[in-house]
Structures are given as structure tokens and as C-alpha cells.
A and B are shown apart, each in its own frame.
Chain A
Amino acid sequence: MTDERLRVAAVGYLNARPLYEGLDREPASARIRLDCALPSEVARRVAEDEADLGLMPVAAAAAIGDLRMVRGCAIAARGRVRSVVIVGDRPLEQMDEIAVDLSSRTSVILARLVMRERLRKRSAPRLVGMTPREAIAHVGERRGALVIGDPALEIEGRFGYVLDLGLAWWEMAGLPFVFAAWCGRPGAVAASDEQILERAKAAGLERRGAIAAEHAERTGLPVGSLKSYLETAIHHDLGDAERRGLERFFQMAASEGLLPRARVRFYDEDRRTAPARESIDRLLVRASQGERLSAAEGERLGEEASLFDLGLAADAIRKRKHPKGVVTYIVDRNVNYTNVCTTSCRFCAFYRPLGHPEAYVLSREELAKKLQEVVDAGGVQILLQGGLHPELRIEWYEDLFRWMKREFRLGLHALSPEEILHLARLEGITVRSVLERLHAAGLDSVPGGGAEILVDRVRRKIAKAKCTSDEWLGVMRVAHHMGLRSSATMMYGTVDTARDRIEHLLKIRDLQDETGGFTAFFCWDFQHERGTNIEPGDHGTLLYLRQQAIARILLDNVDHVGASWVTQGPEIGQVALRFGADDFGSVMFEENVVSSAGTTFCMNADGMESRIRAAGFKATRRNVHYEWLTPPA
């Protein structure tokens, strides 16, 4: 029998426990299936419909968009909160840098808003991503740390300067601050479910002393301090004042472009009146003006906006970001150094197993010939990718990269995250070590291939052996932190849904908020052909144009969007330039992976430039950093 209970996910932190204590026991457990997870994981489950209701950070709720909240329950503070603090040896005004776990988005946004308020016109300290322990260790001369949760309670009294962000918000807004609340899709929760949650909270509040004692035992923190934290610093109501505080927070964050515009809406309100819906026109006007849209708003665009609505809005955004009307392209070459691969993705017609008669690894002679052709054609870069070869060790790559850098003056845009993870596993070293060694050997930037759809339900179906979404994003995070730039991609049109595609875009947007390391985004649909073992899903040229436009609209923090003419053909590629793209990709030397699926188009630099001009733009060549190499013409 299928479990039809309400799937509830909650952050497993101390301050959340009073809200969900008892939900995993009778009688609540007859209706509720409770799971505890990290905040980002709770949000992911709600976003990907793996949970009906999540006790989640409010920034994540705003990013998903159009969620409802359970009235009366929250993790909030009226004034001093103790567990979200900026610490340092000197006051905020004298800090250049603040170390922070950037994935704690609600607190990071709160910190940004507080800093903006306190520092006014002075430049705010740079936020640098680190783990909580690293962040604390990082504190020093002109360096502070934003510390959240248990570590914040542990270091109470250790630093000379402490800025409590709950208190700072109270002083700034005169309202409570809500950190987290029960959120879910409209209609997911019945009135009777809300009563269960209220009863759980009532019982949980009674048990705060016991919860503090248990936590003290586990962590070694003083029980009295924990008890007063739970009973005085944190409070668990979500009433009118909290709602106003939350709406103020949402509004301020939206006006800074940090969050999509969000409202607070309770489940009980939906039961009384239908929610007001903004028109698609209004939504697109806001997006065109640079506002950030939520996942729910992105989905509405996919469902309701016409091709023209999307095209004109995406074009307007392209124009805001690139007002000179210039479309770039790059002269580079995609070299697939091996077709040997161990993953056997169902959509790939390119790979061969080791020992197969058609399996190859390019020799230095073959590579030299290809690279020389690129140099002769005025090319600036090699895009080097291959399968996951089980016998090529990291030294092979290091030697290859050094040789290439010595012999040819070409940028090296090489190895997608999947290949980097493969090397890390093969060598038993960290992703960071792999990237550091390759970077030292000549790696300049990381291509964004293999992202497919960054939703694990989809990845498991189409590429079971491949990395998870978090692993893919994790490699990019490390690369970006090292200063290596990368592109981001999306391959849709297999088993993915419109919601999956939006979720994919938001995962890229979230990481980009953290690192700023993505240069550009490209998407294409799955190229179905013989030799692949998967049915095509949503696709077609109109969908491509819509998808690219939606990406331009949602990825407000990614500078460039490229038109994938290699997969869509030069004609549609050109039309796509009017649907939000400001880059036309690469001239074509070869592209083994896509061409083995039957898509073979060719275009040289003249063909690229004349199409760019005929679409109404100036054309220029670029390098991997999107710097112009020729005067636009």
C-alpha cells in the first residue's frame, strides 16, 4: 500500500525542534511522515515535489515562489537572536571581508541588508564563502565572520565585536524577523493538518527545557544558555507582526535584487478567498526591469506567456545587460580526446567501452594536427572533453596540458565536472586537488557540460552512473572559488518536466549568487538518434526559443546567454539571437558528441558574422572571458 501521509521535511536544528517535536509519534505520525534534513535539502524537496510541506528558510521559500505558510508557526526573533551574528575583532565599519557559509541564504541576505543600512554609502565588506569552522578561524585583522546556529552559541563571548543580526533587524525595521516557517504548495495542507502542527508546537514549547538539556548533553553547551535561547531569544509565533516583518524583509531583498518579489500568504487565507494573480504582462515588465523572478513565476511564464512575450522580454533583458548591440562568437575547437567512457548514459551515441574496435584515445600527432589547424584559423581556444576513461591517470592530463601550453598559444577550456570527479575518484584525491593540479598544468577554465538537468530524479533516469546535481554544482563551486570561470549548460527534452527545467535554472542562479563564477549559459534539447536508448520528451524549435528566453529572464545574475546553433541549426541559432542570446557560440571545426547523434551543421566565421549582422547586431570575436578580441562590426 502506498504511504499517503503528508510528506513533511524540517530543518533539524535546535531552534526548530519545538515546532516538530512529537510529529514522528502517534497520533500525529498517522497523518504525517516526518524527515529532518539540512535547510537547503528541505527547500529542494519542496521545490522538486518530494515533500508536501517543509520547515524551511524564508529566502528559499521566496525563491521557489507562490508557496503558502502555516499561520502561527515560525522560527523568529524579536530583537536579539544570539545565533546569527557577525563577529570580529573590530567593528563592521573597519572590516574588508566577512567569511560566511554562503549557502545560508536567509542569513546572508539579512546580513547584506543590515550592512547596507549601517554602512550607507561606504563600501560593504566582501563576503567570502567558507565552512563555519573555517569562518571562525578566519577572523582577524579587518576580517570578520558571519556565524550561524550552534557555532554562534559556542563562540559567545569570544570576540570583541558582535553584531547580532536579529537585534540589528529589530532596530532597523522595528519588526520581528522570521528565519523559517512551514511552507508548501497551495492546497497541500488541510485545516486538520494545521491543527496537528499547532498541537505539536504547543507540546514542543512545553518541552523546551528538555530539548535544551538533550542538546546540551550532545554538544557540551551550557544548558541554561540553551534554555534561555529557546525560550527568550527565539520565539515560534507567526502572527501579524511577524508577517509584517517578513514582508518587509521580502520587499527589501527584492528591491536589492537579492530575492524574487514575494508575499506572505497563509493556507487558511486560500480557504477563504482565491489568491490574486499578477498578469503575465506585469510579470514580464518587472523581469525586464531587472527584478528577480521566483521558480513559480518562471513556471507561469512557461505555461502562460506567448513566444512573443518571452522573446521581447528576453531581448529587453539582453539589451539592458549588453546595450551596445554586440553579439560575440569564439573561434575555438571542440576536441574529444577519447570516446572511451564507463558511464553509458542512455542519451549518448558517442561513447564506446574500453577495448571496443571503435574506441580511441587521440595521439599527440593527431592532437597536434587539430591544434595547429585552430592556430592557423586564428582560433584562441581548445574545448577539450572526453569520456570517463578508466585508465588515463591525472599525470596523463598534466603532461598533455603542459605539452599543449608549451606548443600552442591556445586557451584550455577543459574537462567537464563529470571528468573532474572521475579523476578525483580514480586518484583518490579531492576535487580541489585535481583542479589545482590541472590548473597548474595549464587548465584555464571549465566547460559546463554534463549538467543535463540538475534534478536527481531526472539524472537517475537518463544517466544513472553520472554525478548527482550537488556533485556537479560542487565541482563548479570549487573551480569558481579557485578563480576558474566556467559556463553552465542545460540539456532538456528527455524525461524532464517544465518544473525540472526551472529548478535547474534556479540551482545555477543560486550557485552564481554564491560564486559569480559562471560566464554564460547555453541550453539545447536532447538530440535523439540511433544508438541512444531514451525517448525524446519535450522539444521542438519553438520550445528551444522559449526555453532560452526563460533562461535569460530567470538567470538575472549570469552575464551571457549563448544560442546553441550547433544543435538547433544555423537558422534557428540566428533567430535565437533575438530571444535573449548575446553570444553565438563557436565556429565549427568538429563536435563529435552531437554529430554522432546525427546533427551535423557547419558554419565558418563569415557565416557567423553575416548571420549576426542580419539579425541586427554587430559581431565580434571573444575569448573564454567574453572579452572582445576585434572591434565590433
Chain B
Amino acid sequence: MLDAIRSKVDRGERLSAEDGRTLFEHPDVVAVGQLANTVRERLHGDRTYFNRNMRIEVTNVCVASCLFCSFAKLEEGAPGAHTMRVEEAWAELEKRMDDPPSEIHIVNGLHPGLPFSYYEELLTGFKRIKPDVHMKCFTAVEIHFFAQHYGMTHREVLERLRAAGLDSLPGGGAEIFHPDVRTRISHDKATADEYLEVHRVAHGLGIRTNSTMLYGHIETFEHRVDHLLRLRALQDETKGLQAFIPLAFHPDGNGMRNLPAPTAVDALRTVAVSRLLLDNVPHVKAYWVSMTPEVAQIALRFGADDVDGTIVHETIYRAAGSRSPSGLTVEQLVRLIREAGRVPVERDTLYNVVREWPRAALPEAAVKVKDRKASRHLEVVS
């Protein structure tokens, strides 16, 4: 069954929706991973990317009521609801100026009560503190919300934010595009077409973006394939996607808490099939916050070529019960990558190489890292 797909992969041919379903359903995840690995190595060799980034969620107040979310609070004043003053957000960067991140990644709730200038000011302030910091901020869902809420077009929103300091968009909010699923899990935010349109407009403006897929809840493999192919079609059109990030659903404390979390085998399979179907997207991330650093390490042999970054200080997955640490040091990321027999490459947000670590002297088979604790004991950076 995999033979036909393997020969397509060897010839560099595009895979079909049916191939995608076959890959998702194939019982032997290792064989699927091996296929994805050949593509990954064809594209990137052993190079494995990461960056020094910093996550800030400035508000968890959100008008949307997504079933999978454990983070958002419906209104200001609700227990646990919190909105940072811009100065508080800036202070997060100021605290870290002795070892500053190259990227600030901001994702928020859809707050109904903030003026648009709040976001502009937020961006401007970060750039004032560190002019060369890359601002990867606001998902397409937020951009769409801004457009509706403040009465602008997507293009106007993006242009004003860019003028204030926005550099690129993160990929969140994609969830599952197919309406059968989307209407059930996040009915009151941007639709699939709106999400894709924001990316299309951003790409047209020269703003690069990432994209994601939240898998492992009520969707079927068919829905996942549909999702991936919609992204592939957009990318054929715009070439503006840099990286695709599969995100595992975590069930704690949200509207789908009765569902089991997807397992590690599903995580590896999803990384692998994403790599195989998204033949036009340069990078596939093993987002360690979503899959744990241990599984992310294996994913580097199942199609992923990027582990995201140091993150410090993630709160969305933690709210949903993730037991991954909330941040890793550069040293820990380098070790994680080298233990997988790969070559660590520190990048900036646009995948320009900042530093390439030398290849470990030993092959994958015999990587030794003498001075570290087992990776599950990676210390939380706080």
C-alpha cells in the first residue's frame, strides 16, 4: 500500500488526498515516518532549526468560545481574566535584555474592550526597547477580529500593524478548517476562508506567516487531509507560508475534557503526513510545548526540521494540562537536537541562519551527551 506512495515520494511527485488518508490510516507509523524522513532530509539534510523567542499572551479575555480552549476567559473581571497594561508586556522584554530573544510571539484572546491603538502601542514599545526584535504577532483569527471590530479591511489592519512594528504572523487559529468540525468547536470566530484570506492578504503584502492544525479531538483523518490540502493550495498561490505546526489537542479544563488527548504515535504520524502532503511548505515544526521535548526529539526523525524556540513563557498549553516545561534554554534545545543526531541551527524568524552548531562527531547511532540530565528532567526556565 505504501509502495505506490513511496515511488511517488522518490520521484518528487505530489501526493493526493487519498494518499493522505492512506498514510494516516497505515498501521505502521514507523514506515510512514521513514517516508517523511526522506523528504525532510532531501530538503534540510540534518539541519534542525530553532530560535530564541519569547511568548507573551497580553490578554486572555476572549469573545470566542472555542470548545478546545482552556485559556480564554469570556470577559474582563471573570475569575482568572487578565489583561496586561502595555508597560507590563514591555517589562517582560526589558527583564530579558541581558540575553534578549530575537523574536516576540504574541497571541491573545479576542478582547472586545481594547482600542486598536493598544496593539499599535504594544508593537511600537517593543521596537523601542529592541529595534531589531522580530514581532511575530496576532493570529489570522485576531486580525480578522480586528477588521470586524474596528471596521477595517484585513489589508488596512495589517498595514497599520506593520507600520507599528509587526513583522510576521503566527499560525494559530487554524484549528480544523472543515466546516463540519469548525462549526462545532469554534463557531464564533474566523471561518476557514476568512483565516486563509488573512494569510493571502498578508502574503500579498510581503508578510510571511506560519500555519497550524489542532488535531486529535473530534476530527477525522479525512478532515486533517482536507485541512492540509487547503493550506497546500494557498501556498501554491502565495508561497508565503514558512512553517506548518501540527498542534495536539490537550483536554484539561476545556469544553472537550471528556476526550482523550492524542497519543505520541498520533503526534508522530501527523508530523510525518504533514511533511509528505505539504510539499510546498519549507518547514514542519515539532512544537515541543505541544508534544513534550521527548516526542519532539523523535519527531525530528519523522519529518520535522524545526523545534520552535526557547518559548519562555508559554501559558496556553499549560492551561490545558501540558506537562512540558514552559521554556527551554538554548543549551537544552541544542542538546535535544544533537541527541537526535541532527545539526542544530539557530535561525531568526525568517529562517536566516544566526549560528550553525558543528555536527556532532558521532552519528545518530551513538550520540553521547555526557554533561546532561535525562531530557525529561529539562529544567523549567522561569
Question: Which residues of A approach B to under 8 Å, CB–CB?
Answer: 302-308, 311-312, 315, 498, 525, 527-529, 535-543, 545-546, 568-572, 574-575, 577-579, 598-599, 610-611, 614-616
Contacts and interface: CB of A to CB of B under 8 A. Distances in A.
B265 A528 contact: no
B372 interface: yes
A599 B262 CA distance: 22
B43 interface: no
Given A541-B298, A574-B265, A578-B29, 9 more contacts: A306-B364, A312-B28, A312-B34, A528-B374, A542-B364, A569-B294, A572-B294, A577-B265, A616-B27
B301 A542 contact: yes
B369 interface: yes
A315 B376 CA distance: 26
Among B29, B366, B374, B376, residue most surrounded by chain A Cβ atoms (within 10 Å): B374
A273 B340 CA distance: 36
Contact of B260 (A527, A539, A575, A610): A610
A611 B29 contact: no
Nearest to B292: A571
Among A303, A307, A529, A577, residue most surrounded by chain B Cβ atoms (within 10 Å): A307
Interface in B159-192: none
Contacts of A568: 294
B17 interface: no
A542 B338 CA distance: 11
B318 interface: no
B34 to A, nearest CB: 4
A529 B265 contact: no
A616 B364 contact: no
Contacts of B53: none
B263 A610 contact: yes
B315 to A, nearest CB: 22
Contacts of A308: 30-31, 33-34, 37, 301
B250 to A, nearest CB: 13
Interface in B1-58: 27-31, 33-34, 37
A536 B374 contact: yes
B294 A539 contact: no
Contacts of A311: 30
Given A306-B364, A542-B301, A571 B377 contact: no
B89 interface: no
Contact of B301 (A307, A312, A525, A539): A307
B292 A498 contact: no
A237 to B, nearest CB: 41
Nearest to B294: A541
Contacts of B31: 308, 312
B117 interface: no
B266 A529 contact: no
Among A302, A570, A571, residue most surrounded by chain B Cβ atoms (within 10 Å): A571
Size band of the interface chain B makes with A: 35 or more
B297 A542 contact: yes
Interface in B249-264: 260, 262-264
Chain A interface SS verdict (over half): helix
B370 interface: yes
B341 interface: yes
Among A498, A540, A546, residue most surrounded by chain B Cβ atoms (within 10 Å): A540
29 contacts: A302-B365, A302-B366, A303-B363, A308-B31, A311-B30, A498-B366, A525-B374, A528-B374, A528-B377, A529-B373, A529-B377, A541-B297, A541-B339, A541-B375, A542-B297, A542-B341, A571-B263, A571-B292, A572-B294, A574-B263, A575-B29, A575-B264, A575-B265, A575-B268, A611-B263, A611-B265, A614-B266, A615-B263, A615-B265
Contact of A614 (B30, B263, B368): B263
Contacts of A616: 27-29, 265
Contacts of B267: 571
Contacts of B266: 614
Contacts of A537: 368, 370
A408 to B, nearest CB: 32
Nearest to B300: A542
B367 interface: yes
A52 B31 CA distance: 41
B368 A538 contact: yes
A543 B367 contact: yes
Among B33, B267, B298, residue most surrounded by chain A Cβ atoms (within 10 Å): B298
A540 B260 contact: no
Contacts of A498: 366
B295 interface: yes
Interface in B280-298: 291-292, 294-295, 297-298
List of 9 A-B pairs having minimum Cβ-Cβ separation, nearest first: A571-B264, A540-B339, A616-B27, A308-B34, A311-B30, A614-B263, A541-B294, A615-B265, A571-B295
B299 to A, nearest CB: 10
B84 to A, nearest CB: 33
Nearest to B264: A571
Nearest to B29: A578
Nearest to A539: B374
Contact of A303 (B29, B37, B291, B365): B365
A612 B265 CA distance: 10
B30 A312 contact: yes
A320 to B, nearest CB: 14
Nearest to A307: B301
Contacts of B291: 571
A546 B294 CA distance: 14
A528 B373 contact: yes
A527 B31 CA distance: 30
A578 B301 CA distance: 14
Given A537-B368, A572-B298, A542 B377 contact: no
Contacts of A307: 301, 364
A527 B374 CA distance: 7
Contacts of B367: 538, 540, 542-543
Contacts of B30: 308, 311-312, 315, 578-579
Among B268, B297, B366, residue most surrounded by chain A Cβ atoms (within 10 Å): B366
A303 B365 CA distance: 5
Nearest to B35: A308
Nearest to B31: A312
Contacts of A579: 30
A14 to B, nearest CB: 44
A565 to B, nearest CB: 10
Interface string B334-371: 00000111000000000000000000000111111111
Contacts of B301: 307-308, 542
Contacts of B375: 540-541
A540 B337 CA distance: 11
Contacts of A599: 376
Nearest to B296: A541
Among B27, B266, B294, residue most surrounded by chain A Cβ atoms (within 10 Å): B294
A574 B30 CA distance: 12
Contacts of A541: 294-295, 297-298, 339, 375
Contacts of A572: 264, 294-295, 298
Interface in B315-346: 339-341
Nearest to B37: A308
B295 A535 contact: no
A421 B85 CA distance: 67
Contacts of A615: 29, 263, 265
A8 B271 CA distance: 54
Nearest to A572: B294
Among B27, B30, B368, residue most surrounded by chain A Cβ atoms (within 10 Å): B30
A328 B370 CA distance: 35
A569 B292 contact: yes
B376 A569 contact: yes
Contacts of A525: 374
A532 to B, nearest CB: 11
Nearest to A546: B365
B181 to A, nearest CB: 19
Contacts of B298: 541-542, 545, 572, 575
A111 B114 CA distance: 88
